[in-house]
Structure 1
């Protein structure tokens, strides 16, 4: 499971718990659900009336959904879900709203091409996802960060990488992929014997560049959370782009810089000091951006606050434009350059 799926699951449960309890009590699905008849028949055949469970759930749901997982599933040790990269923010929301003290365990680093790594060191005290490469599944090589843009970069073997450095992961698989560039950027945390232990950082192509400065997405992510540290748990989601794309979407001229579209709980807003801090935090993390801000080649970052539920609407828009997309694996791009989506977000600002 990915954390966006978990967030959708618990959100639907919170909004529809009365109908859910009625269905459990009666042992059949509500007639108000718009599902095909053959699917309804199949699911009803798997259900049995359970008035006792329904009564218990009504009582617990009626108290609110804080720490609901431990209250209705007391033996649940954790939520197993991907919580790195773009899945980090929804994972934080799931934990804050529904899990309480239960951890979110991100146990595998999974790609379309293969399973790359496994989190063998997960504990409640150290919930951050650090992966060990599955060297029995793939042959791994690593491209140093300084050579990401090259067509024929040099590579290092697993035992040659250095702690604290970032690399793009390259795999050769039993299924026939040869020296395949995954575009997954990882940071080496430590070694487990002679095998590196790494943290997923971002996709290699996730960079903002309004004036050739090439700012990695994860630095923007860290800057937003650092600036909004006092309210980090209230960040629902955010995405970003260079100002030229907003100019195309709106027809309004903007100086070179970045836009961040952000949704906070209860339609909240970052204050002026926090917005200034976002820009300052980026400057502290990226010397080229800092230099371009100082010589006025880039203007201060602009924050667009979105109404409650905006990113749920964006999800529906993006999925509707790609009917072959798998709903449960949707992930919001941290860098959004689609004109139609930018237009929609501009219409959702508060």
Structure 2
């Protein structure tokens, strides 16, 4: 028999949610001020977010039953239930190329007010995640949910991507049409211009850190023109912009000489900490992903333009599937609580901790401090996919593991089976850059010589590395050789193959400033920055920018 107190609390919560939803429904049809609609919707969503937080606490104490329920919902009707039977009947499968890229969330439908009634009982993972995000943000940064207090940076030419707080659209000052502009550079510049109008912003949010990084690079490069646009209340011509979107944006702009003067004065002082100086009430920077190839941009933002502000990555998602929630927004390194209701997860212990072959571990069977490769069942028909994602268990919240992403297996360099992970390659590269006086690493990408085909020459297979540097315009042969030496010191297997001649000398290329922003646009769709290129078209794009 259920205890009376929890049942009464649940009934009371549902009654409150019902009353608030009725108010939301009425404000949707009555001519009420925008601030009132925002206030009511925020009250409803914050209440629903609190319910989700309590629900997550309960699920954290019963991880395995929650996982079994999730698995039953993913299997066909009538299929044999149970994780043991499931693992016996379905072999491990490699990741599918049709999976949604990490960091590109599937667009979510318009939220109907009545759907919030189920937020304390059951809801789809995207809605649960969004409600938890709003609750976490409100708790950590009390002013973060202000009306039109968030600027949204994202490029989505193939269709809209959902912002983290999508159930509360009045949170955002950025018009939706700006992200669909075919030109990535034009889309980010338009979103930057709209954000500059709003001096009282509380949050900067970007689907990818690289998008905010490139938008702020546009600020450094073109702030005089942006100041002129603000002063005149004029939108610079943009051929890629649809006429309707251009008119919508032009209607938002009005001459603001004071804001233009402030922009000129702050940019003239330099760009370290510029974000906090341009938006004095800013509380946090929110990014869709902060690990893998995007980690470099988070570091650059934290140490440069966004100095003094926390950078919060709220969700852990792999191949488009939501897996975990970051409940600690002010910590510099993101940690994620794996939510047992969102996907059925298995884990392969990495070779460094357990000798293969080993069976998969379930969510409630992990060990703190160990690394695991993720095996994912998140959609019907897509069972036991090896996601190519390695994570480390950093702790537990009740029975739920708290994890930190470590590396992406698809981004491991290997021309002879030597295996150089992306995060360790970056460490070697940084060590080499430190040996070049005056140089600072801005960006980099690698390729294996096999991707070059016949143009790679007749020598042994080798690494091709492309870097953008600040403080150096050319590299001598002696400087180029230092990266190869650092790799040999850090990877004995690589050194052995180099000594035998079965791996050739690494070839290092210096590219022009802005080359990586153009590379991201050439990719044609928003995705976390790949550090190992496997597309010959993208390799040709970066090769065209080589200056040394």
TM-score, normalised by the number of residues in structure 2: 0.55
1:142 equivalent in alignment to 2:347: yes
1:11 equivalent in alignment to 2:209: no
8 Å Cα contact 1:224/1:278 also seen in 2: yes
3-state DSSP of counterpart to 2:523: helix
3-state DSSP of counterpart to 2:410: coil
Q: Any residues of structure 2 matched to 1:158-177 within 5 Å, and which?
A: 158-173=363-378, 177=382
Partner of 1:349: 547
3-state DSSP of counterpart to 1:199: strand
1:312 equivalent in alignment to 2:523: no
Higher strand share: 1
Which of 418, 422, 428 is 1:223 aligned to? 428
Structure 1 position 229, deviation (Å): 4.4
Structure 1 position 112, deviation (Å): 4.0
Q: Paired residues, what number?
A: 334
Partner of 1:337: 534
Q: Kindly tell me: are residues 278 and 122 of structure 1, through their superposed partners in 2, closer, same or farther at Cα, counting changes over 3 Å?
A: farther
1:181 equivalent in alignment to 2:379: no
3-state DSSP of counterpart to 1:208: coil
Higher helix share: 2
> Could you give the per-residue CA deviations for residues 42-86 of structure 1, whole angstroms, max 9, x where no partner exists?
112233333322222222223232211110111212311122110
3-state DSSP of counterpart to 2:270: coil
| Structure-1 separation of matches of 2:297 and 2:454 | 27
Q: Which structure 2 residue ranges, 5 or more long, are not aligned?
A: 1-206
Q: Which structure 1 residue ranges, 5 or more long, are not aligned?
A: 320-324
| Structure-2 separation of matches of 1:273 and 1:195 | 51
| Range that drifts further, 65-74 or 335-344 | 335-344
Partner of 1:41: 247
1:94 equivalent in alignment to 2:292: no
| Structure-2 separation of matches of 1:116 and 1:141 | 12
Which of 241, 259, 266 is 2:464 aligned to? 259
8 Å Cα contact 1:137/1:174 also seen in 2: no
3-state DSSP of counterpart to 2:373: strand
Q: Kindly tell me: are residues 162 and 257 of structure 1, through their superposed partners in 2, closer, same or farther at Cα, counting changes over 3 Å?
A: farther
> Could you give the per-residue CA deviations for residues 283-333 of structure 1, whole angstroms, max 9, x where no partner exists?
4554432432343432343322222222233233332xxxxx2xxx34332
Q: Kindly tell me: are residues 42 and 186 of structure 1, through their superposed partners in 2, closer, same or farther at Cα, counting changes over 3 Å?
A: same
Q: Kindly tell me: are residues 93 and 338 of structure 1, through their superposed partners in 2, closer, same or farther at Cα, counting changes over 3 Å?
A: same
| Structure-2 separation of matches of 1:313 and 1:99 | 23
| Structure-1 separation of matches of 2:475 and 2:370 | 33
| Structure-1 separation of matches of 2:350 and 2:209 | 28
Structure 1 position 146, deviation (Å): 3.4
Q: Kindly tell me: are residues 173 and 102 of structure 1, through their superposed partners in 2, closer, same or farther at Cα, counting changes over 3 Å?
A: same
Q: Kindly tell me: are residues 161 and 290 of structure 1, through their superposed partners in 2, closer, same or farther at Cα, counting changes over 3 Å?
A: farther
